[in-house]
């Protein structure tokens, strides 16, 4: 809680979004069928998952059900997904900067959920820091 009694912004997602943009900028169409550290996932699958989660977490912040059309992620080989990722991350960051996102029950994408608290799903940390 802030001194005025509002929930306030508990976690700024902008640094994480910026780091994700930086990493994604190095991914080209030739990489899409490559493997990831998630052994059963290709780069294309992981990019699609990230796009879908960005939409779901934005919907959760806005306390709205996830629109299936917004959740759908088309990953073309032309690289238009970079623009879509940038747009979804911008909406996500903006949504979670609004204090109401952090208070009261929400939709959580497809299911009703309690208000979020920073935890294992989202942690503020220096993107340059290495686990140790």
State pLDDT tens for residues 81-95: 999 999 999 999 999
Segment 39-54, tens digit of pLDDT: 899 999 999 999 999 9
Structure confidence at residue 131 (pLDDT)? 41
Segment 108-126, tens digit of pLDDT: 555 555 555 444 344 333 3
Structure confidence at residue 46 (pLDDT)? 92
Structure confidence at residue 11 (pLDDT)? 85
The answer on pLDDT for 128 being more than 60 is no
Q: What is the DSSP string of the chain?
A: --TTSS---S---HHHHHHHHHHHHT--GGGTTSB-SSTT-BHHHHHHHHHHHHHHHHHHHTT-BPPHHHH-----TTSHHHHHHHHHHHHHHHHHHSGGGGSS-B--BTS-BPPP-SBTTB----TT----
């Amino acid at each position: 809680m802030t001194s005025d009694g509002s929930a306030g912004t508990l976690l700024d997602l902008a640094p994480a979004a910026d780091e994700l943009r930086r990493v994604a900028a190095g991914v080209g169409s030739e990489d899409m069928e490559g493997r990831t550290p998630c052994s059963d996932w290709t780069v294309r699958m992981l990019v699609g998952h990230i796009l879908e989660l960005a939409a779901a977490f934005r919907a959760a912040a806005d306390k709205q059900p996830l629109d299936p059309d917004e959740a759908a992620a088309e990953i073309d080989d032309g690289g238009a997904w970079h623009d879509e990722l940038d747009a979804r991350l911008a909406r996500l960051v903006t949504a979670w900067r609004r204090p109401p996102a952090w208070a009261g029950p929400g939709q959580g994408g497809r299911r009703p959920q309690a208000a979020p608290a920073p935890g294992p799903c989202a942690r503020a940390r220096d993107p340059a820091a290495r686990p140790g």
